[in-house]
Amino acid sequence: MLMSFRWYGSKLDTIPLSYIRQIPGMKNVVSAIYHIPVGEVWPYEDILAIKNKIEAAGLMFKTVESVNVHEDIKLGLPARDRYIENYCITLHNLAKAGIDVVCYNFMPVFDWMRTDLAKVLPDGSTALSYNEKILTGLKPDVLAAEMEKGANGFELPGWEKERLSEVKKLFELYKNVNEEKLLANLKYFLEGIIPTAETCGIKMAIHPDDPPWPVFGLPRIVISRQHLERILSLVDSPANGLALCSGSLGANRENDIVEMFHHFSKIKRLHFAHVRNIKVYGPGVFDETAHKADDSSLDMYGIMKALYDTGFTGPLRPDHGRMIWGEDGRPGYGLYDRALGALYLNGLWDAIERCGNT
């Protein structure tokens, strides 16, 4: 297991790499190129520049999250071939710079979605939270305005201003795309990129949809074990793999998270692990919580044990964290709580390893 931390680059992230380096047991940085529009090629020089910065701080740069997939690919529009070609060139450039895992998602229009970015928890910290009732009857642009208010001046993934102006148009286009069509478009994409990933030694890792059910009537195809099996079979190659995210999949209590981590790691198709906790109150209602939270819904120990028992060697990161100790940063991506999360997960791993060897 390679303990990792997501970083948005020196322009967009307020956390210096030197602080990340001080998290005990932290090894690898997960980052991306943010100044190139979705669908365009990531130049090798730009990738190298981030890599040099990260390595100069004493950390590795082996994992990219995310090379986002252009909406035309998800919609199956004619321009997709050009974007798939670009994607392949980006993969080549990343491999040349030593990256071996690339995360992406196939969520229509938005990345993760919450209804509150700063819900006050009983201990006074604030956390990302979701309540389906708030969403019912809400127009996406109204939610977008709410999200912007709570985002502390940071742009949230998928909610960038220039995209929001397109949202209405996108919703129109998605009217013709149901689950089956979206899955067929994912297959087309995978058939286009997996041969390149194979030759350059990159493992692709699809992130689950978050939350794991349809929102605003948009189709969702990465939300259950069945979906994940199906995605792996679309192109049966070790390069076509998963980024399992406990907090995303776990919001649906029907998903057996520990079993999923165990199974997909055992068959060597789990390439990236996002491990975080949530408290689920009922269908469609949950808060993100500390990684160690005694009253939360997910079994952090069970997940780490499943990974250990199946010989998982890939990158693993604490995912979102709460805002604690007065920190005022990008919602979900502060330093303190994610550092505590990393330490807790490292502690679990150490103990499991020690028990396994005695």
Which spans of this chain sit near ligand DNO (rule: CB under 6 A)? 65-66, 103-105, 111-112, 157, 207, 210, 245, 247-248, 274, 319
- Nearest residue to Mn ion, using CB? 245
Give residues in contact with Mn ion (CB under 5 A).
245, 274, 319
- Least spacing, CB of residue 353 vs ligand DNO, in Å: 26
Q: Alpha-carbon Rg of the chain, whole angstroms?
A: 19
Could you tell which of Mn ion, ligand DNO, none binds residue 157, using a CB distance below 5 to 8 A set by kind? ligand DNO
* Residue 211 binding partner per list Mn ion, ligand DNO, none, with a CB distance cut-off of 5 to 8 Å that depends on partner kind: none
Q: Which of 70, 92, 207, 263 is catalytic?
A: 207
Residue 207 annotated as catalytic: yes
**Catalytic-role residue among 70, 92, 271, 320:** 320
User: Of 112 and 261, which has the nearer Cβ to ligand DNO?
Assistant: 112
One-letter amino acid for residue 95 of the chain: A
**CB nearer ligand DNO, residue 196 or residue 246:** 246
Q: Six-digit token pair at 30?
A: 């997960």
- Report in angstroms the alpha-carbon separations of 99 from 66, 184, 204: 12, 28, 11
Catalytic residue among 70, 262, 274, 291, which?
274
Q: Which does 105 bind (CB under 5 to 8 A by kind): Mn ion, ligand DNO, none?
A: ligand DNO
Of 141, 147, 152, 272, nearest to 208 by C-alpha is 272
Beta-carbon-side half-sphere exposure of residue 180 (alpha carbons within 13 Å)? 0
Could you say which of Mn ion, ligand DNO, none residue 111 binds, taking C-beta under 5 to 8 angstroms by partner kind?
ligand DNO
Closest to Mn ion by CB, 92 vs 317, is 317
Question: Is residue 294 annotated as part of the catalytic site, yes or no?
Answer: no
Q: How far is the CB of 249 from Mn ion (least distance, A)?
A: 9
Chain centre to alpha carbon of residue 302: 20
Is residue 245 part of the annotated active site? The answer reads: yes
CB of 37 to ligand DNO, least distance (A): 16
Do 71 and 83 touch, CB atoms closer than 8 A?
A: no
Phi-psi region of 42 (alpha: psi -120 to 50; beta: other; left: phi over 0): beta
Cα–Cα dist 207/63, whole Å? 13
Contact partner, 65, from Mn ion, ligand DNO, none, Cβ < 5-8 Å per class: ligand DNO
Q: For residues 164 and 245, which CB has a smaller minimum distance to Mn ion in the complex?
A: 245
Give the CA distances from residue 338 to residues 98, 257, 345, in Å, rounded to whole numbers and listed in that order.
Answer: 25, 20, 10
- Determine whether 274 is an active site residue: yes
Least distance to Mn ion, CB of residue 264, Å:
15
User: Which one of ligand DNO, Mn ion, none interacts with residue 197, CB within 5 to 8 A by kind?
Assistant: none
Q: How far is the CB of 272 from ligand DNO (least distance, A)?
A: 9
Contact 25, 343 (CB under 8 A): yes
Q: Based on the residue annotation, tell me whether 35 is a catalytic residue of this protein.
A: no
Q: In the bound complex, what is the minimum distance in angstroms from residue 347's beta carbon to ligand DNO?
A: 22
Which candidate in 333, 336, 337, 344 is catalytic? 333
For the annotated catalytic residues, the residue numbers are 207, 245, 274, 319-320, 333
